[in-house]
Amino acid sequence: MTTSMSRRHLLVTSGAAAAVLATTGLPAPAAAAVAPARPGGADVVLAWNRELLAIVRTAGLQPATVHPTRSFALLHAAIHDAVVATTGTGRPYLFTVDVPGHAAPEAAAAQAAHDALAALYPARAAELAGLLAGQLAAVTPPAARAAGVRAGQLVARLLLGLRTGDGSAATPPVLPPGTAPGQYRPTPPAFAPAAFTHWAAVTPFVLDRADRFRPGPYPALNGARYAKALQEVAATGRDTSTTRTADETVQARFWAAPIWNYWNEIAQSVVAGSRANLLVAARVFARLNLAFADAVIAFYEAKYHYRIWRPVTAIRLAGEDGNPATAGVPDWSSLATTPADPAYPGAHSVVSQAGALVLRREYGPRWPVEVRSEALPGVVRRFPSFQHAADEAGLSRIAAGVHTRLDHEAGRQLGLDVAAFVLRS
């Protein structure tokens, strides 16, 4: 079981060593009041988020056994806590840092972002330095810029140090293939070994433990609920399905890329369109990505606790599940390639519901959403709310043939629970 590293409030005076004041659950010490972040500062946050999206989409830059949501959480926690430290407004997620009242929040945010990503992606050092230099050049006066830089450096250094040894660098253990009905085993066409088998043991950022919101046990294989869910994906998610609609096929392909990327893109559009200032932008992205990071830890904990087989395995071997309402289809294949991990709960549903709740809390339940896809370039889908987008993203995995409705429903609840916990913290 893991224990959260979040909410360790440290009071760090300018140039001084850190002293631990409290651990989880105690209110942050008051910071000196300074002028609020200047309007337009959201551009700093948006630029660094776009930079990280470009990094994780570039082959070879993201370590194969380190989940990208960890990087997003580190980036935005650093930005957020640097902004809180230099504005005196808001509650930090990880650190309370005492800095000079004239420190520029934009400089602190930019420096913290740079230092976090430079440590995570040293091969990108030149590009990151260029982005930082351009942002710092726009901050005046020089003394405020220099004070902000020092604050950003300190926050990033403390945050990176805190996450050292959080379990993310562990070698993923090999998961033996299941043999009994219902047990996960590698899936076609590659039959690759299970991925991120170590991620359940990574220390959460905000959750007190990874299994806090673990979904309830998977339904019995010989029951009506299981049979109904399997029949749905067998008909809708097959590569040669005649019951899947043309739009469901588009949905399955549209949402096929890493789901946290979509929601960071959605947040970029919403934050820019709302003309948020630096403090609001930092808060939105920190909440969003801390929720994603912990949701991923939580869903891997559940996936590897239950180790439920994927639809392609369940349908091909349905003759062995003891359910008279299911029948094996040995040549069944899914529309999309099945990810190399157990089915329950569904990752798209977890992350999308977490994203929808965080953004709904900030912008309300009826904010129109326009979504673009890196899997289907040029295609745009529009929704009347964050929840509509989240529902389609989760259900698209049934049409893709890689999840059942059981996975989707458990995933939605897990995402809701994790995001609500982050928002309360």
Hunting for tokens 């392609």 — which residue is that? Answer: 312
Please tell me the predicted confidence (pLDDT) of residue 11. 41
C-alpha torsion 297→298→301→303, nearest 10: -110
- The predicted-structure confidence for 48-88, as pLDDT tens digits, reads as follows 999 999 999 999 999 999 999 999 999 999 999 999 999 98
- The predicted-structure confidence for 120-141, as pLDDT tens digits, reads as follows 999 999 999 999 999 999 999 9
Token representation of residue 29 = 């010490």
**Residue 302 Cα distances to 198, 237, 298, 307, 400, angstroms:** 12, 24, 6, 8, 22
Please tell me the predicted confidence (pLDDT) of residue 93. 84
Q: Determine the CATH number of domain 199-424.
A: 1.10.606.20
Cα Rg of the chain, angstroms:
22
Hunting for tokens 């926050």 — which residue is that? Answer: 155
- Print burial letters for 200-219: b (CB count within 10 Å at least 16), e (below 16): bbbbbbbbbbbebbbbeebb
Q: What is the DSSP letter of 398?
A: H
Does the pLDDT value for residue 39 go beyond 60? no
Contact 239, 335 (CB under 8 A): yes
Contact 307, 183 (CB under 8 A): yes
- The predicted-structure confidence for 138-189, as pLDDT tens digits, reads as follows 999 999 999 999 999 999 999 999 999 999 999 999 999 999 999 999 999 9
**Where are the chain's structural domains?**
9-163, 199-424
